[in-house]
Amino acid sequence: MLQKFYKLIPTDYLVLIKEGGLYTFINVLDRVVPFVLLPVIIRLISVEEFGIYSLFLTAESLLVPIVTLNIYSSISKQFYDDDIYLPKYNSSIIFSLPFLFILFGLIFLMIPDKLITSSGLESNIILFAIFTACFSSSLVYTSSLIRLKRKPIAYGKYYLSQSSLLLVLLLLFVFIHPSYKMLIYAKSIYAIFVFAISIIYLRTKHEFNFGIDLSVIKKALRLSLPTVIYSLSAFIFVMSDRFLINYFLGSKELGHYAAISQVAAVMSVIVGSFNVAWMPWLFENLKKNDQRTNKFIVKTSYYLMAIVLLGGIIFCLLYPFIAKFILIESFFPYISVAYPIIMGLAFQGIYLIVSPYTFYAGKTKYNALIGIFVALINVGLNLYLIPKYGIWGAGYSYLASWVSLSVLFFIFSKKAYPMPWFSFK
């Protein structure tokens, strides 16, 4: 019976469904780490300390595109070039990360302390964030390479082993001495392990030669530098709410918002994990340069958009039950904050479906323009809504920003790489 059913499904769909399902399963297991940690941490440290740790994680994410220059992301495009020599490329990119840490660490030390403390964090904590941002990027690079090779099982083993390591280190350190500083120390040690493991893994696959080729770095930077502005502006609209909540409402309200958002982020498992399979599948089919294939891609895209929006609505209905199981009672009055965040993440799924075309076409200048525009919208909305509606205002701003981003990328992707989006007419 199942064999007859499978014969009715196009082969390309079966590949996408199989790989998407595997990546979803892997990402669900990966999300066990924050779900195991959250109930433990909020019971060991105060809401204020959890807010500070959340601010550290926000600063770390903010710094990734800046201090790494997004150089690790270049593999997504370069992998499909016929002239790429992986051992030289891999070692050049990964060994560039410690040099970038030294460079930006020295630049950071020149910034006045008063300017740094205005962010709500101590200067040494931000230095730790620079360190973890640089060295942990080796995990993203290596896992992306495995994904591009269409090896979901190997991807799962590699990625989940790193997640398990992070879970063990964070729990060990927070039990030794419950404080946000110990969590930061654990993240820093984890970054060192990840960097070393990435080199060992690639070396065992004969894809690492312990050298640096400046021509490789220059080529990678030509592709990645235009995306830095976009990544930074995109991060601003995703995470500026944390800094502004801390500024207007204090670290306690930030702790409430961070915990509610973390549980709501289950929605990102659905959209993020499927995107891991979507981009290689999309690029391989776009490479065929066939009108019939392009129509098939468009039809698939519409199906996926409907699925993520329906998934967002269903998760909104389930969220109160999940949140009350994970969080403690003091967080319950804030549960409704999650609804606009969840639907924002659903529109993030639409963005992930329509945005790769600008990267495939090499027209990343559109990314920068869109990112800056949406970042300005987001910051403006947060400045207006957070003082007026509290953390609920941040949720509404989050939703509005993702809707804007997905719509704009749909428009500009069509301009960058024309597709028969309206062929159904």
pLDDT at 287: 79
pLDDT at 403: 94
Q: Classify burial at 81, counting beta carbons within 10 Å of its beta carbon; exposed 0-12, middle 13-18, buried 19 or more.
A: exposed
Question: Could you give the CA distance from residue 332 to residue 311 in angstroms, rounded to a whole number?
Answer: 23
pLDDT at 96: 92
pLDDT at 3: 47
Question: Could you give the CA distance from residue 404 to residue 171 in angstroms, rounded to a whole number?
Answer: 39
In contact, 88 and 213? CB cutoff 8 Å: yes
One-letter amino acid of 199: I
pLDDT at 276: 67
Distances (CA, A) of 147 to 31, 55, 168, 237, 392: 18, 30, 25, 27, 37
pLDDT at 10: 54
In contact, 228 and 381? CB cutoff 8 Å: no
To the nearest 10°, the Cα dihedral for 166, 167, 172, 178?
100
Closest CA to 398 of 353, 354, 343: 343
pLDDT at 1: 44
404 contact partners, CB below 8 Å, separation of at least 6: 373, 374, 377
Find the angle CA(360)-CA(364)-CA(366) to the nearest 5 degrees. 115
pLDDT at 182: 92
- Low-confidence stretches of the chain (pLDDT < 70) are 1-36, 76-77, 80-83, 114-121, 226, 230-232, 234-235, 237-239, 269-270, 272-277, 362, 364, 424-425
pLDDT at 395: 93
pLDDT at 54: 81
**Is the pTM above the cut of 0.85?**
no
Per-residue pLDDT tens digits for 307-352: 889 999 999 999 999 888 888 888 899 999 999 999 999 998 898 8
- The domain segmentation of the chain, as residue ranges, is 11-416
Residue whose tokens read 């550290």 = 56
pLDDT at 2: 39
pLDDT at 114: 67
